[in-house]
Amino acid sequence: MASTFRTQMIAGVEEAAEAEGVEVDVYNSNNEVIKQNEAMENYVTRGVDVIAVAAIELESALPAVRAASEAGVKVIAVDARIEDPAVSANVGVDNRAGGETMGKLVAEDAAASGGDATVGIVGALNSEIQNARADGFQDALGGKVEVVQIVDGQNRQEKAVDEAENLLTAFPDLTYIYATGEPALIGTLAAIESQGRTDVKVYGWDLSAEGIRALDNDLVEAIANQPAKEEGVQAIEIAARLARGEEVERDNLLDINVITKDNVDEYRADYS
């Protein structure tokens, strides 16, 4: 099942492709590094002008990215930033900074509540993006909230449910859970509800219909959200310029929005 983030990004890709008059082929590697690299190799063989890739693992993607560049194919890194001369442009958000923002929110809430506080992180250890979100989050806590465990939801909702349930069982006095992506967040919310642990405050990433319902029902405090559709649009607009031989900005940074119960109405129409 495609995440809301990916679905919206593809919608942006298709919208921009029509506007730019370019042909786009979208490949879903289902979070499998080997398949992602094979897809890039196949695109090079087919003679495409530009490849836009949301790298799962940066180091694993680099050989295919560099091979594409050497073959004359322009490469755009989307979502996951790639610092390499083979990449013509980066499009996305600062995931580490977004993690820091969420960490500051948790630290401030813990300080206001008083007493000792603990947090468990439901991450995806094979995802460079989500690891950056976890690292930034922990840095921002500044030792004010103890991270008791990081579990690996593997960017799969069903796995995240299991890992979040294990976290709740192992730490019955847990104060917070931080979920680093949409599958992790939805899985965490399912675990919270199944165990009746509404005492645990949840912070997460990537808005969805499920996330909005959780905000409405006070099951989640805040969700860091990146403008997925805009990322898709910008990636294709830049790809079209590269294909025409035009100069482009190397770094194209988009803003992260923090969604809470107070401002969620602004986003309902896009996630219904």
Transcribe 192-255 into DSSP letters: HHHTT-TTSEEEEES--HHHHHHHHTTS-SEEEE--HHHHHHHHHHHHHHHHTT----SEEE--
CA distance 13 to 6: 10
Put the strands of the sheet holding 89-92 in their side by side order.
50-53, 74-78, 89-92, 251-253
Same domain as 181, residue 127? yes
Predicted local distance difference test score (pLDDT) of residue 1: 45
Average pLDDT over residues 211-234: 96
21-58 pLDDT per residue, tens: 999 999 999 889 999 999 999 999 999 999 999 998 88
Task: Evaluate whether residue 271 is within a structural domain.
Answer: no
Task: Evaluate whether residue 63 is within a structural domain.
Answer: yes
Task: Evaluate whether residue 266 is within a structural domain.
Answer: no
Q: Are 79 and 54 in contact (CB under 8 A)?
A: yes
Same domain as 117, residue 73? no
Q: Are 191 and 168 in contact (CB under 8 A)?
A: yes
Average pLDDT over residues 72-93: 96
For the record, the structure tokens of 34 come out as 């080997």
201-221 pLDDT per residue, tens: 999 999 999 999 999 999 999
Task: Evaluate whether residue 259 is within a structural domain.
Answer: no
Task: Evaluate whether residue 265 is within a structural domain.
Answer: no
Same domain as 109, residue 33? no
CA distance 236 to 50: 9
Task: Evaluate whether residue 260 is within a structural domain.
Answer: no
With both helix axes pointing from N to C terminus, report the angle between 228-243 and 4-20 in degrees, rounded to the nearest 10.
Answer: 40
Same domain as 171, residue 111? yes
Q: Are 105 and 87 in contact (CB under 8 A)?
A: no
Same domain as 103, residue 144? yes
Q: Which residues contact 213 (CB under 8 A, 6 or more apart)?
A: none
Predicted local distance difference test score (pLDDT) of residue 226: 93
Same domain as 103, residue 13? no
Task: Evaluate whether residue 263 is within a structural domain.
Answer: no
Same domain as 72, residue 126? no
pLDDT at 83 over 90: yes
CA distance 233 to 230: 5
For the record, the structure tokens of 252 come out as 């194209």
Predicted local distance difference test score (pLDDT) of residue 31: 83
For the record, the structure tokens of 5 come out as 């983030």
- Out of 225, 244, 262, a domain closes at 225
Task: Evaluate whether residue 261 is within a structural domain.
Answer: no
Same domain as 58, residue 22? yes
Predicted local distance difference test score (pLDDT) of residue 236: 98
Domain count of the chain?
Answer: 2
Predicted local distance difference test score (pLDDT) of residue 126: 87
Domain with residue 39: its CATH number is 3.40.50.2300
pTM of the entire predicted model:
0.91
Same domain as 200, residue 99? yes
Question: How confident is residue 270, by pLDDT bands cut at 50, 70 and 90?
Answer: confident
Same domain as 104, residue 54? no
Burial classification of residue 142, based on how many CB atoms lie within 10 Å of its CB (0-12 exposed, 13-18 middle, 19 or more buried): exposed
Closest CA to 201 of 117, 257, 97: 117
105-162 pLDDT per residue, tens: 999 999 999 889 999 999 999 888 999 999 999 999 999 999 999 999 999 999 999 9
DSSP letters, 139-177, are HHHTTSSEEEEEEE-TT-HHHHHHHHHHHHHH-TT--EE
Same domain as 110, residue 54? no
Closest CA to 177 of 214, 212, 213: 214
Average pLDDT over residues 69-87: 96
The boundaries of the domain holding residue 26 are 4-93+227-254
Same domain as 237, residue 220? no
pLDDT above 70 as % of the chain: 99
